[in-house]
Amino acid sequence: MALSDWLSKERTIAEPGFNRWLVPPAALAIHLCIGMAYGFSVFWLPLSKAIGIKESIACPKDMSFFAEIFATTCDWKISMLGWMFTLFFLFLGAAAALFGGWLEHAGPRKAGVVATICWCGGLVISAFGIYVHQIWLMWLGAGVIGGIGLGLGYISPVSTLIKWFPDRRGMATGMAIMGFGGGAMIGAPLADMLMKFFATPTSVGVWETFLALAAIYFVFMMAGALGYRVPPTGWKPEGWTPPATQANNAMITSRHVHLNVAWKTPQFWLIWSVLTLNVSAGIGILGMASPLLQEVFGGKLIGLDVPFNDLTAAQKGQIAAIAAGFTGLLSLFNIGGRFVWASFSDYIGRKMTYFVFLALGFVLYVSIPTMAKSGHLALFVLAFCIILSMYGGGFSTIPAYLADMFGTQMVGAIHGRLLTAWATAGVLGPVLVNYIREYQIAHGVPKAQAYDITMYILAGMLVLGFICNLLVRPVAEKNFMTDEELARERKLAHERSTAGNAGSTQAGYAGASGGAVAIATPTVANGAVLALFAWLAVGIPLAVGVWITLQKAVILFK
């Protein structure tokens, strides 16, 4: 059997008795690995001393940027290394948009395997780039090739999870996308430990760490990819009845829109705008959280009524540690929000969930300057934690929103196109926040007040998002696929239907003759045990990452 046949979508269709709770840990295994993209800053300081080891060796001042790219006798600037983040999210969005349609036809297993090869292969190429001190190889490896792996890995489980959990769409996607937010919590401490282990008098230990991470991630990601299964067409959980299309749930369709039509509808671009504005505001906050806390509260963080600029180097070190705890706390709320808000959306609806994000976010943003001036640290921290929970929740709720609007047939591909909003927000948010701050400080505004205007501008963006969300209406009848078009699409996607349109993880699927297929008790028991081990495999590392982050966050309250 050819490898391509073994990875084909028709070979991933689940057999009767398959436990659907095996799919979320498979998705988490991939997302926890690629989520390390958020934690790559842990490598910047060591890599800025890759040649000098103890101290950075600066390149000659008259050396051009392009000469620095190929130089082997001087160290890289952190600003050069920081381009990796831009490449990550640029190619994540591009890959998700370009290959989303292919994924729907090829299936999640093949997409997961390709994502594994790209992400882990990119790390190996980057390791070689560090070894020969060629930063362009790092950009090509982890940035470009790895970024493509990020995009494919990110969207690979979306359509599958929504089809396995039609009764809990938000919760299902929340579980997987939570992993992307949690990847850095596990990966960053692991990378720090590995760099210390591999460090020698002639090496800072980064290229060796890249190779070790590539090997570890390869095992977990391949296990996740091979663990993917898709349900037969028409499958539904036992005892669950799809909601009828009525006035009270008109925002949830039971029909399907093709990718080539969906992205041309006003609904797509309104939701795209909602995500862009929500993420721009959140990512702007995320990028400046640590300096903002330090500059706004200054010496008050350590019991001194002294502005930030008047602190000693030792005192600044103390508040930097507190700010690191603040950043860790925000990461926990970012992760938790992905699961909690997406699950909550199953009860109040996706449109209403975004109304909460945008309205509550507006109130919090306009309140932050007042909290800062009055010195209410606890309220200030709480406001930021809620904002970051809604930032994460925005990512995890959007796939279910798209499934509600456009149906489940091509939701993975539509989600891929929509992720261009993330790439847009990744540029818009940080640029807006950083340049406004620099402009304010350059014109004599004290650092403690330099963020006030920024908060009001971000609040204004959320108002625009609220209006866009308000304008979202059910998709017009003319945009849905006809029965013939849907049958043709399902044939291209190599789908297999279940004759009785029924089944569950316990009862099995209807057989070809329409009679129920009996599932032996040992099969169900074995599926439950396997699901338990799968959840432990992803749950234990995630729990360790949460514990490490909590230990850092405790510093904030001492």
Q: What pLDDT, on a 0 to 100 scale, did the predictor assign at position 464?
A: 96
State how far the Cα of 335 lies from the Cα of 320, in Å rounded to an integer. Answer: 23
Characterize 274-288 residue by residue with b for buried, 16 or more Cβ atoms within 10 angstroms of its Cβ, and e for exposed: bbbbbbbbbbbbbbb
Report the half-sphere exposure of 469 (CA within 13 A, side-chain side): 25
Task: Give the residue among 225, 187, 226, 223 at the shortest CA–CA distance from 541.
Answer: 187
Please give the Cα distance from 252 to 241 (Å, whole number): 14
Topology, domain 259-479: Growth Hormone; Chain: A; (1.20.1250)
Q: What is the largest CA-CA distance in the chain?
A: 81
Q: Which of 227, 35, 254 is nearest to 146 (CA)?
A: 35
Average confidence (pLDDT) per 10 residues, the chain, 558 residues: 71 87 94 91 89 90 89 88 85 92 91 96 97 95 95 92 91 89 89 93 94 97 94 85 60 90 96 94 75 79 80 81 81 92 94 96 91 83 92 93 93 93 82 76 75 86 96 94 91 68 41 32 66 93 90 76
Contact 39, 187 (CB under 8 A): yes
From CA 532, how far away is CA 186, in angstroms rounded? 21
pLDDT for the residue numbered 4: 65
Task: Specify the pLDDT at position 500.
Answer: 41
- Provide the angle, in degrees to the nearest 10, between the axes of the packed helices 23-34 and 206-227: 160
Q: Residue 186: which residues within 8 A CB-CB, separation 6 or more? A: 32, 36, 541, 542, 544, 545
Tokens of 184: 């850095």
pLDDT score recorded for residue 501: 41
- Residue 243 is predicted with a pLDDT of 67
Amino acid letter at 352? M
Domain with CATH 1.20.1250.20 in the chain: 19-230+516-557, 259-479
68, exposed or middle or buried, with CB in 10 Å at 0-12, 13-18, 19+?
A: middle
The model's pTM is 0.86
> In the prediction, which pLDDT does 372 show?
79
Query: Cα(535)–Cα(379) distance, rounded to whole angstroms?
Result: 35
CATH architecture of 19-230+516-557: Up-down Bundle (1.20)
Query: What pLDDT does residue 291 have?
Result: 73
Q: Which residues contact 541 (CB under 8 A, 6 or more apart)?
A: 32, 186
User: Residues 553-557: contacts with CB within 8 Å, 24+ apart?
Assistant: 553/325, 553/326, 553/328, 553/329, 553/332, 554/325, 555/321, 555/322, 555/324, 555/325, 556/322, 556/325, 556/326, 556/329, 556/381
Distances (CA, A) of 60 to 44, 98, 296: 20, 41, 37
DSSP codes joined into one string, 412-434: HHHHHHHTHHHHHHHHHHHHHHH
